[in-house]
Structure 1
């Protein structure tokens, strides 16, 4: 399907790239038997527990549980999207992604034969050129200087200038009907009721908006003076929704702030483009901005891919606190233990731009560090709506708190909040939160805080089907041993279909590895389960030698066959008898003959019990 990277290309890529070489470029690895070890790059530790297997092409940390393939490592360590990781690995391997797979989704990225991303690059260059050469450029330059923005920072953020006039961009880059249509599709031109087409952005400082891959997908424009604003022009004007720009998922400067977020181990979310640029001018490089919309779940998910610490900066007025509360409500279902969210409320009349100029970098960073934690903001806001000195006030607070607590995933944070609110309201935890909600399991993974059972010295029991999945994932070179399980009907035993799929992948793949098998299931709902099974320690050993692996596979397969025959013996025997009878009177087809052999082998194996 258009927009998807062919699976065969991913298989070839993983066979070409050595995960040991890749990770060694980030974290120095030392040989440790058949594997390599290092201190884990995903959590602090003094004794190495991070293991990389060249045979499996897979990494695993026994301390925090981080694990994955070469693709997964880049997604986790460099905070890349899936396609970004594929593109980087392909570049390292000297491979080119097949042409038909370009683009993320089937949505059109081409208009009138014009690539919209390339068009936006051209538009970006146009605005930057206007800032350098237009006859009215001094207005824009003076404005930036007045705001304390240096030429270096302006260049870093690609700031530009949309000159006054109705058709500067259109006359330069919209001379043809097709070009004009493409500019309309990207929102750079607009059309009025009388079908007149003209430049959307006029007499504004231009801020290019980049997506997570660094491509220009839209623009924000700010008026240059009060006169323009008083004339009815909005202070900020953003690109509309287009095939390549979606305000609810993009954040201004997220791509540019990745290194700063990593260095600071946190991100600061502000409300305006100029706030981001002014903070960068002051040396604060971990700021991003929403694009004129409320903070969305998609925004938060993207930010949490880069850091576990998010601080929002809002005005301290009523509107600012309302926006902060909306962000809090949106974030609650995503707050795993270990995630921290805080709110910085600035004095009336101040924003991050003016505040950092007034107090300086160090004092502003101190304000960020002292920002109000989400639990405190939640409780203070609820207390402001109910008088806890009254019985009915405490009842009201309990009612207000309940739907918020129910949104939180289960975990320590939820328990601590319930404990705190229970003390304030003098209501028992059971009454404050229904038992079902209080015991709800956490959403998502908290793998960095939990020790995986695979490293436990105690033997951990798993079902024969799960053990078979674990064994074929860990030892795909012995996939032929699993052929006997293909006779079991997929609908009769849960999980057997996945084993049969993995067997087929191994049979069709040159040199199958754990990594290749896992990447087949990245989008599956049970991907995390397969990842865990790929790390399960059999017989309390990190890895088995070939003889041990083959023996365990055969013994486990025998157990699966025995269990199936005890539960539904007629399934296999009936099908085999029917094929034997048919073979006596007519010649079987190639498919029927293969099935007869398969069932016969299964039947003979069942007799061994």
Structure 2
């Protein structure tokens, strides 16, 4: 597992990276006062509403609400994981990422001094060269042409050819002990029980598999013998699990399909890499494939980073529907409101490759559009297992549905599915859902010192604590003004603990920017709220002059203290009333009597 990146390194990195230069390399920016503007790269618009602030090192779109730091931009625009974004920024800044020792086990990406990623590039070059130059290349080329693939598509997907023979690859690249060991560790060579080493892939069309960063991590091979290859020689063969290839986290074609997914606002998940390539040949460029495994939570996490719309495509036979049901069960826990998962079932005997050739691109895309939504598939499948015309059948349906419903995150979709099932079973939502689900549906109590207060209302008003949070994020160099809030107990006002933490971060790093402060809270549930506060316009101005900012900060701090004092009076009054009520019933203990006197003195002083 990767070690945690130290916070001080992230601070240093963001201090060295200029978010304006970073974003300008992707989206040309124009100077607009103290900031820079462009048309937003995250939604279509004609009038620029995307603003980048060099002082805050922060971007914000007033159209769609997208905002964040340099790290956020790479994560959203290039669909990178957090660590990948850090690595890219560090590389561009000439910085090396330190690792905190606790619980860190470095990922082994080299063997005996051989870099496995570089080795896989050499393997890929070897296979592509064989497709162009090997004496038996005609059989491979004829096969690709028979499947309707053009030379351009073969080049685009980097298709290659593994010739017949036991040691073609080994002879070319495994001439040393270290490279042979590395080829074994990447699964390109294999070893039998007699310790004989030979090429894993022989007489196959080769499909390179890229990870989410575009690096080759494995291969898939399609046998060239016949539609019914010999036993022990499967039609399709994938690389095994290796130090750099994990089937449960990678998807064939995802790196190449990023643009197509964005254009289509959706992704199509199919079962084989030939289906992905065939669909691209037909002009459908948003398809990916699992690699011989069922859909995993990591697959879904990767896909939902690119689009909120996923369509699974399966054969319509029993095996296809069983595979679809497994994908549904895996998808449930990831279905936040706004995400959509659908299922496309093809006629028996058809796969995406044959189907798109038969009906054409437009008709195939129409099938995708009409795919069955997950809620419909869920309910229809459950209804096939229980006769809802019988009382015991409706009871059975309720029992089957409960564990599936429990997997759904709380939200509108969960409520709608519960309502639909309640209507079918004629059972109340309360009885249909488990007690755990009903408890989770209750409004959650947020920790006193870990959440900003309620959101601003439609008039634009925000509470004093939220305004204080917004101001320290936007004007960190004015942090000394916030020292007055250090005396408020962090369990007495929501958000005060965060302000105090931000103040401490500014004292520790006087050069802190909005971006470096925000990145301290990326893993917190309120990160999105802080990001919005970091761009709140005070007095309807994007940026205040320093004197105006100081005046607003001091006025806000006074209001926070006034609110705290008012709350203290209410708490003291309530506690005093409780003690006085007990005193009327019986004598108070010495400790309680002392507390009552303290409260009375506090209230007298407060009302002077």
TM-score, scaled to structure 2: 0.81
Tell me by how many angstroms 1:507 deviates: 4.2
Question: Secondary structure of 1:255's partner?
Answer: helix
C-alpha displacement of 1:76: 1.7
Decide whether the 8 Å contact of 2:109 with 2:115 is kept in 1. Answer: yes
* Residues in 2 aligned to 1:384 and 1:494: alpha-carbon distance in whole angstroms: 50
1:454–1:536 Cα contact (<8 Å) kept: no
Q: Partners of 2:105 and 2:360 in 1: how far apart?
A: 44
Of 459, 462, 472 in structure 1, the residue corresponding to residue 461 of structure 2 is 459
CA RMSD, aligned part only?
3.7
Mapped partners of 1:266, 1:409: distance in 2:
21
1:121 offset after TM fit, Å? 0.6
Q: Which runs of 5+ in 1 are unaligned?
A: 444-451, 568-606
Deviation at 1:220, TM superposition (A): 0.8
Residue pairs, 1:469-548, within 5 angstroms: 469-483=469-483, 499=499, 501-507=501-507, 509=509, 511-524=511-524, 526-535=526-535, 544-548=544-548
Shift of the alpha carbon at 1:135? 2.3
Q: Distance in 2 between matches of 1:135 and 1:246?
A: 34
- Between 152-161 and 81-90, report the one with greater CA deviation: 81-90
Classify 1:66/1:442 alpha carbon distance in 2 versus 1 (closer, same or farther; 3 Å): farther
Give the 3 Å change call, closer, same or farther, for CA 38–107 of structure 1 in structure 2: closer
Q: CA deviation at 1:66?
A: 2.7
Moved more, 516-525 or 127-136: 516-525
1:411·1:442 contact (CA, 8 Å) conserved in 2?
A: no
- Residue 321 of structure 1: CA displacement? 0.4
Number of the residue aligned with 2:112: 112
Contact 1:409 1:442 in 2 (8 A): no
1:4, 1:105 within 8 Å by CA — same for their partners in 2?
no
Greater alpha carbon shift after TM alignment, 136-145 vs 57-66: 57-66
The unaligned stretches of length 5 or more in structure 2 are: 444-453, 569-605
Determine helix, strand or coil for the equivalent of 1:363: helix
Distance in 2 between residues matched to 1:394 and 1:493, nearest whole Å:
49
- Pair 1:250 & 2:266 matched: no
Q: Residues of 2 paired with 1:137 and 1:417: CA distance?
A: 55
Equivalent residue for 1:586? none
Offset of residue 440 of structure 1: 3.6
Question: Closer, same or farther in 2 for the Cα pair 1:198/1:530, shift >3 Å?
Answer: same
Q: For the residues of structure 2 that align with 1:482 and 1:193, how far apart are their CA atoms?
A: 71
Q: How does 1:257-406 map to 2 (within 5 A)?
A: 257-406=257-406
- Equivalence for 1:95: 93
CA shift at 1:216, angstroms?
0.2
Whether the 8 Å contact between 1:344 and 1:371 is mirrored in structure 2 is: yes
Cα separation, 2, equivalents of 1:395 and 1:427: 9
- Greater shift, 170-179 or 319-328, is seen at 170-179
Counterpart secondary structure, 2:333: helix
Tell me, yes or no, if structure 1 residue 204 matches structure 2 residue 204.
yes
Q: CA deviation at 1:287?
A: 0.5
CA 391–235 in structure 1, closer or farther in 2 if over 3 Å, else same: same
The residue that corresponds to 1:123 in the other structure is 123
Aligned residues of 2:456 and 2:463 also touching (Cα < 8 A):
no
Contact kept in structure 1, 2:227 and 2:235, CA below 8 Å: no
Structure-2 change in CA distance of 1:286 and 1:418 (3 Å): same
Give 2:158's aligned residue. Answer: 158
Instruction: Indicate how the Cα distance of structure 1 residues 29 and 200 shifts in structure 2: closer, same or farther if over 3 A, else same.
Output: closer
- Distance 1:331-1:151 versus aligned 2 partners, 3 A rule: same
In 1, Cα distance between equivalents of 2:282 and 2:392: 50
> Normalized against structure 1, the TM-score is what?
0.81
Query: CA 1:242–1:319 in 2, change beyond 3 Å: closer, same or farther?
Result: same
The answer to whether the 8 A contact 1:62-1:455 is kept is no
Q: 1:296-335: per-residue Cα shift (whole Å, max 9, x none)?
A: 1110111011111111110101110011011111111111
In the comparison of the two structures, how many residue pairs are matched? 557
Map 1:170-189 → 2, pairs under 5 A: 170-189=170-189
CA distance in 2, matches of 1:406, 1:323: 21
**CA pair 227-469 structure 1, distance change in 2 beyond 3 A:** closer
- Kept after mapping to 1: 8 A contact 2:87/2:97: no
Measure the CA separation in 2 of the matches of 1:2 and 1:367.
Answer: 42
Q: Structure 1, residues 30-49: CA drift from partner, whole Å, max 9, x if none?
A: 77775566675545678876
2:81 aligns with 81
The alpha-carbon distance between structure 1 residues 54 and 364, as it changes in their structure 2 partners (threshold 3 A), is: same
Deviations 1:41-75 (A, max 9, x none): 54567887655434322233456543211321232
**1:419 corresponds to which residue?**
419
The residue number in structure 2 matching 1:53 is: 53
Q: Is the 8 A contact 1:409 1:440 kept in 2?
A: no
